[in-house]
């Protein structure tokens, strides 16, 4: 069954502790934390202190998505702050293998992200080293954007390689995901989906979560 990871980017930033408790109450599976530095993406959200603060409010897994330049400098600190997963964009890093190794050395699950404007090739050399392949179906930087279905081609490619090589990585689809497109995400090989606005802006967030746990 697909796991649903609501993104706190769409939550009330003035009540973030409450937001992660709601995520659990709604029956979701993972908390998706979007870290943005204003350099790799044209937006700024939060950093290690927020992850450290939220760690005390939930026992659910914290899935930290780093949209930052030179992530290798910070992955260790996000692990120490309490992240269960740390993913980053390889083209923003000058030491992809070092960053992946650092995350693993902390006993945390590691992953790489393919942004909407990036080719699948940027992650291909590392597929044997990751626990998660994150495929963006919007251009990183903002919540509430429209789902780019053509990006699913990259998820399908990741799924084919995973089957052919016997890799075990999760495939997470991130951006514009909702009950209306969950079926195509599943068909493309998704094991986890991120859902920000389709959950936090829903009439009935618990029902929206349930509709995506297919
Ligand atoms: C965008 C983030 C996504 C975003 C998803 O840069 O990585 O996780 O918050 O939000 P929705 O589901 O509203 O597109
Ligand atoms: Zn994200």
The ligand 1 site (C-beta within 6 Å) comprises 7, 9-10, 32, 34, 65, 67, 138, 140-141, 143-145, 174-177, 194-198
**Ligand 1: which atom is nearest the Cα of residue 195?**
12
What is the pLDDT, as a whole number, of residue 162?
98
Q: What is the pLDDT of residues 68-118, one digit of tens each?
A: 999 999 999 999 999 999 999 999 999 999 999 999 999 999 999 999 999
For the chain, give the mean pLDDT.
98
Q: What is the pLDDT of residues 6-50, one digit of tens each?
A: 999 999 999 999 999 999 999 999 999 999 999 999 999 999 999
Q: Burial level of 16, CB count in 10 A (0-12/13-18/19+)? A: middle
Average pLDDT on 136-165 reads 98
Catalytic residue numbers read: 34, 174
């Amino acid at each position: 069954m697909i796991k649903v990871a609501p993104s706190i980017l769409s939550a009330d930033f003035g009540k973030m502790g409450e937001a992660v408790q709601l995520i659990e109450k709604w029956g979701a599976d993972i908390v998706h934390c979007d870290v943005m530095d204003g350099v790799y993406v044209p937006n700024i959200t939060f950093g290690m202190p927020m992850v450290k603060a939220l760690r005390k409010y939930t026992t659910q897994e914290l899935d930290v998505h780093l949209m930052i330049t030179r992530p290798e400098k910070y992955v260790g600190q996000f692990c120490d702050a309490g992240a269960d997963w740390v993913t980053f964009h390889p083209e923003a890093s000058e030491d992809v293998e070092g960053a992946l190794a650092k995350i693993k050395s902390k006993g945390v699950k590691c992953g790489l992200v393919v942004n909407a404007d990036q080719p699948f090739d940027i992650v291909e050399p590392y597929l044997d080293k990751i626990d998660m392949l994150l495929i963006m179906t919007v251009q990183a930087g903002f919540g509430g954007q429209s789902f780019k279905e053509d990006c699913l081609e990259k998820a399908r490619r990741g799924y084919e390689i995973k089957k052919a090589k016997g890799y075990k990585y999760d495939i997470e689809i991130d951006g514009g995901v909702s009950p209306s497109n969950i079926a195509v995400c599943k068909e493309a090989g998704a094991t986890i989906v991120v859902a920000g606005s389709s959950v936090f802006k829903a009439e009935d967030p618990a029902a929206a979560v349930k509709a995506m746990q297919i």
